[in-house]
Chain A
Amino acid sequence: MTRPDTSRPMKLLVVDDSTVVRRVVERNMKRSRFGEIRLACNGREALAVFDQFQPDVVTLDITMPEMDGLTTVEILRQKKTSAIILIISALADRSTAVEALKRGAHGFLLKPITPESLHLAIEDLLNN
């Protein structure tokens, strides 16, 4: 998979059903290298904006109404996108994390998140 060019400002799509979480991610990522950030409340909304927005990074919750994160990641994978997908979920069992990676996510960050854990997870994926 080709990695995005990290020198230019990048685009981030934040998908979570919680406003507080969406805004925490947005607030913290705005200060780092993301030039444009869009928010979506569930998988369906994310898919609706994805093609046109073409984000470099997607953060994705799992437990969401309408379309959950695992389904979303599978559909995103079928789009042959090069976007990096970071799952941010409270589901703390190992098998969910394994399943998410198997379906095409690149990383898994456990809720509750802190600004530090978020930055570390994003940097880790971008520099890898």
Chain B
Amino acid sequence: MSTKASPADSSPAADAARRPRRLLPLLVYSLLALVVAGSALGIAHFTRRLEEATTENNKRINLAGRQRALSQRMTKALLAYERDLRAGADPAAALAELQKISGLFHVVLRGFETGGSVPGADGKDFDMPAAQDPEEQRVIREALSLWLPLQERLSDIVQGGAAPEAVATTVEAFRARNVAIFDFMNELTNRTEFTARAQIAAAANPRTALISVAVLAVFLIPGFHLGDRARRARLRAEKALHQLESAHSALSTQSTALAAAKAETDRIMDTVQEGLLLIDSKFIIGPSHSRELAAIFRQEHLAGMNLLHLLQRLLSEKMFNTTRDYFDLLFDNEQRERSVLKVNPLVDIEVSFPDPAGGFIHRYLGFSFRRILEEGRVSRVFVAVRDITAQIELEKRLREAERVKERQLEILLGIMHVDQDELVHFAEIVEQELDAINQSLRAEDFAVASPEQQEKLRARLNQVFRSVHNIKGNAVYLRLDYFQKAAEAFETRLSELLARPKLGGEDFLAIVVAQAGLRADLGDLIELRSKLVGMRSAGSSPAPADAGAASPASSALADGLRQLARDIADDLGKPAEIQLDDYALHVVAHGRQELVRDTLIQLVRNAIAHGVEPPAERAASGKPPVARLDLERIRHRALSAGLLPADAPEPAPAELARCIFAPGFSTRDQADAHSGRGQGMDIVKTRVVDEAGGRIEVRSAPGRFCEFALYLPEIPEPALV
């Protein structure tokens, strides 16, 4: 808040009192009384509007953001339900989640449309007003047109008895529209933020102006709290009145005006939504203060208390020391008022009230000060204090949003080149792997320290490694540098842990923190992708959300693998080319997109990183320019890792082939972006053999080739792709 009051000794009232025209002060007082009364009403009105606007808008923004998350949880729940059905597991939990989430999503979306009571993010019901903004209304309308048909299908499922085919169609329908619904909810969130800003500005500006007027007027009413000098001025005015009493019959009206001014002062102190008070040079709060002050400080009987001591309990130690110094400055006659007011450290400070129900109540208070001079010395200081928590929190949210935007720009630039469907798919993979990581960590280890427990922890670490490595493989494949780097940093931490002779729960703290970091990145990716969709559709071709389904995913996979091979070959300076039979790939990948994709990514990486040597190196060692698998190196590593008995002098190539599938096995001394973690082939084995029940054959002719043949059993029923 800013006030523009003049110091008391030069106020018009005091000046007027010195002049012979003694009636003037009374006129001034009565006018001021009217001003005070008028602005008090105005302030109360705009304050109410501002508070209503701020809390209501915060709730709307939160709810719109939650809709965004709910749309994703809903899809997840539906997929879980479908998975349970297919696996013959009990789908009750997934169904309950689906029912809960879809119901909530529906009610809140309707709430945005027509208004009404909806469950709020804080667990309490919130009386949502219908959207007024035309742009918001449009987004809601379009979202509803997508959602209502889906909701109908869902309610069939939720009420039970939907045939498997119906479930499959619903899943199809969801896949097609899920992204679009998410995007609409995102747009709604952005728009609610925008309308909130506009509304708050509309209420805040006139209010600030009125407060300035009111405070100025309160200052100028001498009957209230001005210093001795002003009181003397008033006494002189009253004396003058007395003298004039017999001569002027109009006088009675005027003294009524004076009484009215006092009454208005009291009234403003009762109704103004501001803490107004005076402190003396010992910082003691004066006898009259506005009623709101008690509410702001959550304490009664403030008159007579020391304001500095009151603040001591609410402020951090550092802030308190600053405040104490500032109070001294306020009463220091040597300091110019203007300079002192400029450095006010209490414009917006955070205070913590102990909460009777436990914890703390955090509020932001804004203080402003004006000196009151008597005989040229600061006798008291006028203090206005306001609870500005709602505004600060909104500002903080907006600032935080700005900060996130800057960080996201980096990710955004990194995903511009990637196909929409590929990004969605990547996000799904990352989410699945993160869930897998948390699942393996969640198997809380309460066992006593034992060799078996060490093995268990190590096995768990290897599971985590496989998940992270798969994220990295997919990031490299899509050239998502940001995620590649994040996954690499994660892998480096994992490698350090695997190298430790003993593992304990503490060692996993780094893992859980890195995992939370990746999860935050994933959230950004999902949000940015939807923004990207907005940017692209704003351009030339407004493609419908489900247009991606038209192009066969397997040809995108083939293109991706070719690009991956070129990238790795370029990075490593090894000329290499990949040959793919697109049709065969399509047949194999049918219903097994992820398996085939993850496996081929790792095989391509391994083939180029390990199977091909740089041309210069081959030429220098006099080798023919043909790539080969280095069996001697594998044997050497296998021996030192204890995978082969030391007395087995010449292991067969088949035995060596088994070694390369062991977790953590690598012939590299140093890891780089493409190899050396010893995880890639472990992923291939886990996916193909352990998970899909297939098998792997390795044939090789030393110095000539190494062939990996992967056999996958047929999928029992046609999958939905």
Interfacial residues, chain A to chain B (CB-CB below 8 A): 65-66, 68, 71, 95, 99
Residues A95 and B356 in contact, CB atoms below 8 Å apart: no
Q: How far is the CA of A66 from the CA of B358 in the complex (A)?
A: 10
Which residue of B313, B317, B356 is within 8 Å of A65 (Cβ)? Answer: B356
> Which residues of B127-185 have CB atoms within 8 Å of chain A's CB atoms?
none
Q: How far is the CA of A68 from the CA of B356 in the complex (A)?
A: 12
User: B299 to nearest A CB, angstroms?
Assistant: 14
Interfacial residues, chain B to chain A (CB-CB below 8 A): 313, 317, 354, 356, 358
5 further A-B contacts with Cβ under 8 Å, apart from A65-B358, A95-B317, A99-B317, are A65-B354, A65-B356, A66-B356, A68-B354, A71-B313
Contacts of B313 in A (CB 8 A): 71
A-B contact pairs, 8 of them (CB 8 A): A65-B354, A65-B356, A65-B358, A66-B356, A68-B354, A71-B313, A95-B317, A99-B317
User: A77 to nearest B CB, angstroms?
Assistant: 15
Residue among B317, B354, B356 with the most chain A CB within 10 A? B354
Closest 8 CB pairs of A and B: A65-B356, A95-B317, A71-B313, A65-B358, A65-B354, A68-B354, A99-B317, A66-B356
User: B33 to nearest A CB, angstroms?
Assistant: 43
User: B429 to nearest A CB, angstroms?
Assistant: 44
Contacts of B358 in A (CB 8 A): 65
Measured CB to CB, the nearest residue on chain A to B313 is A71
Contacts of A68 in B (CB 8 A): 354
User: B360 to nearest A CB, angstroms?
Assistant: 12
Q: How far is the CA of A105 from the CA of B326 in the complex (A)?
A: 29
Q: How far is the CA of A86 from the CA of B313 in the complex (A)?
A: 22
Contacts of A66 in B (CB 8 A): 356
Contacts of B354 in A (CB 8 A): 65, 68
User: B597 to nearest A CB, angstroms?
Assistant: 52
Measured CB to CB, the nearest residue on chain A to B355 is A65
Contacts of B317 in A (CB 8 A): 95, 99
Measured CB to CB, the nearest residue on chain B to A99 is B317
Measured CB to CB, the nearest residue on chain B to A67 is B354
User: A15 to nearest B CB, angstroms?
Assistant: 17
Measured CB to CB, the nearest residue on chain B to A95 is B317
Q: How far is the CA of A71 from the CA of B317 in the complex (A)?
A: 14
Q: How far is the CA of A12 from the CA of B317 in the complex (A)?
A: 32
Q: How far is the CA of A71 from the CA of B314 in the complex (A)?
A: 13
Contacts of A99 in B (CB 8 A): 317
Q: How far is the CA of A95 from the CA of B316 in the complex (A)?
A: 12
Measured CB to CB, the nearest residue on chain A to B357 is A65
User: A100 to nearest B CB, angstroms?
Assistant: 13
User: B312 to nearest A CB, angstroms?
Assistant: 10
Q: How far is the CA of A99 from the CA of B321 in the complex (A)?
A: 14
Q: How far is the CA of A66 from the CA of B354 in the complex (A)?
A: 8
User: A95 to nearest B CB, angstroms?
Assistant: 7
Q: How far is the CA of A71 from the CA of B354 in the complex (A)?
A: 13
Residue among A65, A68, A99 with the most chain B CB within 10 A? A65
User: A81 to nearest B CB, angstroms?
Assistant: 21
Q: How far is the CA of A19 from the CA of B228 in the complex (A)?
A: 57
User: B624 to nearest A CB, angstroms?
Assistant: 69
Q: How far is the CA of A65 from the CA of B354 in the complex (A)?
A: 8
Q: How far is the CA of A95 from the CA of B356 in the complex (A)?
A: 25
Q: How far is the CA of A95 from the CA of B318 in the complex (A)?
A: 12
Q: How far is the CA of A71 from the CA of B358 in the complex (A)?
A: 18
User: B704 to nearest A CB, angstroms?
Assistant: 67
Measured CB to CB, the nearest residue on chain B to A71 is B313
Measured CB to CB, the nearest residue on chain B to A64 is B354
Q: How far is the CA of A68 from the CA of B354 in the complex (A)?
A: 10
Measured CB to CB, the nearest residue on chain A to B356 is A65
Measured CB to CB, the nearest residue on chain A to B317 is A95
Contacts of A65 in B (CB 8 A): 354, 356, 358
User: B497 to nearest A CB, angstroms?
Assistant: 29
User: A12 to nearest B CB, angstroms?
Assistant: 27
Measured CB to CB, the nearest residue on chain B to A66 is B356
Q: How far is the CA of A74 from the CA of B166 in the complex (A)?
A: 73
Measured CB to CB, the nearest residue on chain A to B358 is A65
Measured CB to CB, the nearest residue on chain B to A70 is B313
Contacts of A95 in B (CB 8 A): 317
User: B209 to nearest A CB, angstroms?
Assistant: 41
Q: How far is the CA of A71 from the CA of B313 in the complex (A)?
A: 9
User: A73 to nearest B CB, angstroms?
Assistant: 14
Q: How far is the CA of A66 from the CA of B356 in the complex (A)?
A: 7
Q: How far is the CA of A55 from the CA of B356 in the complex (A)?
A: 29
Q: How far is the CA of A82 from the CA of B354 in the complex (A)?
A: 30
User: A44 to nearest B CB, angstroms?
Assistant: 12
Contacts of B356 in A (CB 8 A): 65-66
Q: How far is the CA of A95 from the CA of B317 in the complex (A)?
A: 10
Q: How far is the CA of A99 from the CA of B320 in the complex (A)?
A: 14
User: B607 to nearest A CB, angstroms?
Assistant: 56
Q: How far is the CA of A44 from the CA of B317 in the complex (A)?
A: 23
Q: How far is the CA of A20 from the CA of B104 in the complex (A)?
A: 45
User: B306 to nearest A CB, angstroms?
Assistant: 13
Q: How far is the CA of A65 from the CA of B313 in the complex (A)?
A: 14
Q: How far is the CA of A99 from the CA of B354 in the complex (A)?
A: 19
User: B557 to nearest A CB, angstroms?
Assistant: 57
User: A35 to nearest B CB, angstroms?
Assistant: 35
Q: How far is the CA of A73 from the CA of B356 in the complex (A)?
A: 21
User: B288 to nearest A CB, angstroms?
Assistant: 28
User: B433 to nearest A CB, angstroms?
Assistant: 39
Q: How far is the CA of A78 from the CA of B2 in the complex (A)?
A: 40
User: B603 to nearest A CB, angstroms?
Assistant: 54
Contacts of A71 in B (CB 8 A): 313
Q: How far is the CA of A21 from the CA of B673 in the complex (A)?
A: 56
